[in-house]
Structure 1
Amino acid sequence: MMLKNEAGRASACRNPKPGVVMHAEPPPSRWSSDRFGEGAVPVRRAVAEAVLEAIENARDAQGSSGTDKQHPFGFTLMARKFETLGRSFTDMPGVTTIRPTGSMHELTVVSGNLLFPFEFAKDRSTNVMKAQIGGTAKVSGLLKILFRRFGPEPSMVQLALDTGDDGETRRLEAVATSLARLPEGTRLVLIAYACNSQAGLLELWWGEAELLDEHGRIRWVHCEEIPFRKAPPSGGQLPGTGSGPGDLPSSPKFDEGPMPTPPLNARPAVEVKNQDAFPPRTETETPTQGVADDEGH
């Protein structure tokens, strides 16, 4: 699907329908192969697992907090989404981490691609093509610098970094200096997800975009969906199987019991010779037993 922006440039977005969870892992796209080479599929898989883990950690924090307020979920996810990404690529070659000056989080760089995860929605009502980065607040100076240094060639005038505040200007200069050790050609890869504390991960996308304004509106240059697995119920068992914690054992089916063994006893020779006096019996006779009535008598 090709989308046109105001300047008439084309933006590609593969599989733009939201909310479709792909269970069979598709081959890598041309874009992901260009960015990550032969490691495109393992990188994509690691990104999905990292985001899933961060969201499940946040859901656990929310569940154990005992409050209806969403602060435990939000604060946990804010930190864990960066931590799980970094840990997912620990043993992969060509991976570095960097903590920009003044930032609480380490950013992960894989094969020259700086990964930046962000939440664009809490449900499926928002199309990823209308995603905003940075939430409802204005975008931070760090995000402006990341887009300016590592984002795609902008089609519009870039946002100014000069705030008019000497202290803030010096802080942004320090941030830019701390990022200068990343090699030339490093690209910013955005990881956009929709989630909430009840349903978990709903959508997961990645690609490249340019920052349009102070409110975090972006224009995707490329955007594609990342397939991910649905987290299993607690204990890793499907509900109703009788194998997970808290499940009752299922009742045996009528054909799961032991097969009866019919009595096969050889007849005495005298009965065989005198069949008129000893006719053959086809079933074993059992004595009649009394059956209690409904009142237990």
Structure 2
Amino acid sequence: MSVPLPPWATEVFGKQAAAVRVGLGQALRNMQANAQAAQEQADSRTNHTYGSARWQGQYERVQEELRHLPGATPVKPFQFPFELMRVGRGLIYPFSYSKKKLDVRIARIPNESQLVKELFTFAPEPAEVQGMFEFDGFGDSSPAVEVRGGLASLPPDTRLVLVPFVCNASGLLEAYWGVAALGEDLRLQWETDPEPLTLPEAVTSHERLTVIPQQPASADLELTSFDHGAEPTLTLSSRSNVDRQRDVPPLTEAEPVDNQISEDDATH
């Protein structure tokens, strides 16, 4: 049974809303498979390899799944190593908010980076919370955020769509999508309840090494074996009578030649 699309998704993504929802679920599944494969190949005692591959994959796998949709455009934030995808009016931002299951309605953005500040200029305004020491005319006024890079060229009607997910090196546990404002202490203020994404079991692309590289055939081995190659040409010279009388040991190889060019010289 198909799950109806939330109204906000149709408003933001238009006719591509259903394809975006399917693509996001598949992208996160592929992300997890890639990261687990990298961790397995690293054979490391820590999960650093998994974490690095997962962080990279959460952007690159989304781009792979959505880039062929009509109207899909990659957007490169200022000094950010990856591109975010914009489909219709929706700018998609995936992020991990926990390593174990946690109510997404109390999720927090991992850190308040400059990228996060710029992205949330495309999000709804947070509800105002008046502190006990705030009075009219004395409230803190946050400076305007300068939007840079590819984000600066986005149309003003662009809407930030969050894709928070829960995963660890053992598995991908759950994922959601929705629209939210950034409140105090980096907590999200959801416009509506975040919708769960379907995470497929099948993986459509991953980098697990499943084939052993082809080994040389026996005929090739005969050509490359050390005792079947062409014999090297040896240069022989006899010792002088003086060396023989003084019992000077024979030289078995040429004296090394001093290199007159250093590595530093080669760079100039």
TM range, smaller chain: 0.5 to 0.7
Match of 2:168 in 1: 196
Q: Pick from 82, 85, 95: which aligns with 2:59? A: 82
**Aligned-residue offset at 1:27:** 2.5
Give yes or no for contact 2:28–2:61 (8 Å, CA) kept in 1. yes
- Distance in 2 (CA, whole Å) between partners of 1:112 and 1:145 is 16
Give yes or no for contact 2:126–2:189 (8 Å, CA) kept in 1. no
The one-character-per-residue Cα deviations of 1:216-240 (angstroms, maximum 9, x if unpaired) are: 22111121111222347xxxxxxxx
Could you state the TM-score of these two structures normalised by the residue count of structure 2? 0.66
- Distance in 2 (CA, whole Å) between partners of 1:183 and 1:29 is 23
Give yes or no for contact 1:144–1:159 (8 Å, CA) kept in 2. no
Residue 180 of structure 1 aligns to a residue whose secondary structure is helix
Letter in 1 for 2:124: P
Residue 117 of structure 1 aligns to a residue whose secondary structure is strand
Match of 1:207 in 2: 178
Match of 1:113 in 2: 90
Q: Pick from 184, 193, 197: which aligns with 2:156? A: 184
Q: Pick from 114, 135, 140: which aligns with 1:141? A: 114
2:201 is the alignment partner of 1:230: yes
Match of 1:132 in 2: 108
- Distance in 2 (CA, whole Å) between partners of 1:114 and 1:37 is 13
**Aligned-residue offset at 1:193:** 0.6
Letter in 2 for 1:218: L
Match of 2:18 in 1: 41
2:100 is the alignment partner of 1:100: no
Give yes or no for contact 2:163–2:177 (8 Å, CA) kept in 1. yes
Residue 53 of structure 1 aligns to a residue whose secondary structure is helix
- Distance in 1 (CA, whole Å) between partners of 2:141 and 2:187 is 12
The one-character-per-residue Cα deviations of 1:265-293 (angstroms, maximum 9, x if unpaired) are: xxxxxxxxxxxxxxxxxxxxxxxxxxxxx
Could you state the TM-score of these two structures normalised by the residue count of structure 1? 0.60
Name the % identity: 33
Match of 2:234 in 1: none
Match of 1:30 in 2: 7
- Distance in 2 (CA, whole Å) between partners of 1:55 and 1:139 is 25
The one-character-per-residue Cα deviations of 1:48-86 (angstroms, maximum 9, x if unpaired) are: 111111111001111111113111111111111111111
Q: Pick from 149, 155, 168: which aligns with 2:127? A: 155
Residue 200 of structure 2 aligns to a residue whose secondary structure is coil
**Aligned-residue offset at 1:153:** 2.7
**Aligned-residue offset at 1:46:** 0.5
Give yes or no for contact 2:123–2:179 (8 Å, CA) kept in 1. yes
Instruction: Describe the shift of the 1:186–1:110 C-alpha distance in structure 2 as closer, same or farther (beyond 3 A).
Output: same
**Aligned-residue offset at 1:40:** 1.6
- Distance in 2 (CA, whole Å) between partners of 1:25 and 1:48 is 14
Instruction: Describe the shift of the 1:231–1:91 C-alpha distance in structure 2 as closer, same or farther (beyond 3 A).
Output: closer
**Aligned-residue offset at 1:120:** 1.3
**Structure 1 runs of 4+ with >4 Å offset:** none
Residue ranges of structure 1 left out of the alignment (5+ in a row): 1-23, 163-171, 233-297
Match of 1:238 in 2: none
RMSD over aligned CA atoms reads 2.1
2:190 is the alignment partner of 1:220: yes
Letter in 1 for 2:75: I
Instruction: Describe the shift of the 1:212–1:49 C-alpha distance in structure 2 as closer, same or farther (beyond 3 A).
Output: same
Number of residues paired by the alignment?
192
Give yes or no for contact 1:25–1:227 (8 Å, CA) kept in 2. no
Residue 177 of structure 2 aligns to a residue whose secondary structure is strand
Give yes or no for contact 2:92–2:162 (8 Å, CA) kept in 1. yes
Residue 33 of structure 2 aligns to a residue whose secondary structure is helix
Letter in 2 for 1:142: L
Residue 191 of structure 2 aligns to a residue whose secondary structure is strand
**Aligned-residue offset at 1:154:** 2.4
**Aligned-residue offset at 1:156:** 2.4
Residue ranges of structure 2 left out of the alignment (5+ in a row): 130-139, 204-268
Match of 2:222 in 1: none
